[in-house]
Amino acid sequence: MQGQLSKMTCQPGEQVEYRLNLGGSEQEMNTLIGRRIRISYLSAIICQHCGRKTNKSFAQGHCYPCFQTLASCDLCIMSPDRCHLHLGTCRDESFAERFCLQPHRVYLANSTGLKVGITRAENLPSRWLDQGATQGLVIMTTATRRQSGLVEAVLKAHVSDRTQWQRMLKSAGDVIDLEAERDRLMDLAQAEIAALQAEFGTDQIAPAVGAEPMAFTYPVAQYPEKVKSHNLEKLPVLEGELQGIKGQYLILDHTVINLRKYTGYEVALQIID
């Protein structure tokens, strides 16, 4: 198989099920655990928006001109509380209508410990799976992306919004009582959340009534003691035994690789044995 890399598709099951699409072909990745594989970078990167070749990838698979002009590459994508659509300075208002002015969810997840995050409603639970989270719980609903970002910014004073990817790849992690953590955080941030509800309305920002926690198990035969990330640009051929998959990482016997990092890269995948 060969073609442009993109993130693996995944869905929950007894273990999270992964598939990789390359050049129109699909490979079930769980079945490769315990087998030796080779990934070869073919020295080409294709922009995921305009299709032109680029020497460097920006914002996970974009050429520099697209990175500079697309609303999907603006700073507010990573920091939704800094959305500036309401100021009239959005790069593309039609994109904002499709992406930002849509219902969002504020959630707690357990990937390397407790973290807070936001995503569009339809992205769950795949958002949690992409992060390698073993647990997830929706705690608030909002009408827009900016509102969810503002709630997240309030909660970040009390809980991290980061995933420590090296720690995440070393073990299955401990179980967290997400409902108890939700209640604790809502008490700590009660005044700030109430202020946002007063500004936007309780119909726009509301607790996620009835939401229940979810738990996930990943297809990992062996976790590494030390985590060393492979760089395809420096070492264009990666070969080893696939020992597990978590988040968007392949765990090999001597290294790990984040496939999502190489979105748009032309690669070949071979099954050695």
Q: Are 213 and 135 in contact (CB under 8 A)?
A: yes
Residues ≥6 apart with Cβ < 8 Å to 194: none
pTM for this structure?
Answer: 0.93
Supply the mean pLDDT for the chain: 95
The alpha helices in the chain, defined as continuous H runs, are 64-69, 75-78, 93-99, 126-130, 145-155, 165-168, 178-188, 190-200
Q: Which residues pair with 4 in a beta bridge?
A: 266
User: Tens of pLDDT along 17-44?
Assistant: 999 999 889 999 999 999 999 999 999 9
Q: What is the pLDDT of residues 107-153, one digit of tens each?
A: 999 998 999 999 998 999 999 999 999 999 999 999 999 999 999 99
Q: What is the pLDDT of residues 208-239, one digit of tens each?
A: 999 999 999 999 999 999 999 999 999 999 99
Instruction: Note if the bond before 125 is cis, omega within 30 degrees.
Output: yes
CA distance 186 to 154: 10
Convert the pLDDT of each residue in 164-208 to its tens digit.
Answer: 999 999 999 899 999 999 999 999 999 999 999 999 999 999 999
For residue 241, what is the enclosing H or E element? strand 237-246
Residue found by looking up tokens 């598709």 in the block: 9
Q: Give CA–CA dist 152/118, Å, rounded.
A: 7
DSSP, collapsed to helix, strand or coil, labels residue 150 as helix
Report which secondary-structure segment, H or E, holds 156.
none
pLDDT score at 220: 97
Across the range 242-266, mean pLDDT stands at: 96
Q: What percent of the chain has pLDDT over 70?
A: 100
C-beta of residue 238 within 8 angstroms of C-beta of residue 257: yes
Tokens of 190: 């009660």
CA distance 75 to 67: 10
Residue 220: closest CA among 99, 159, 132: 132
> Which residues touch 90 (CB under 8 Å, ≥6 apart)?
71, 74, 84, 96
pLDDT of residue 112: 84
* Count of C-beta atoms within a 10 Å radius of residue 162: 12
At 273 the pLDDT is: 85
pLDDT given for residue 182 in this prediction: 97
Q: For residues 165 and 169, what is the distance between their CA atoms, to the nearest angstrom?
A: 6
Determine the Cα angle at 112 with ends 111 and 114, to 5°: 75
- The pLDDT tens digits of the residues spanning 75-89 come to 888 899 998 989 999
Question: Where is 117: in which H helix or E strand?
Answer: strand 114-120
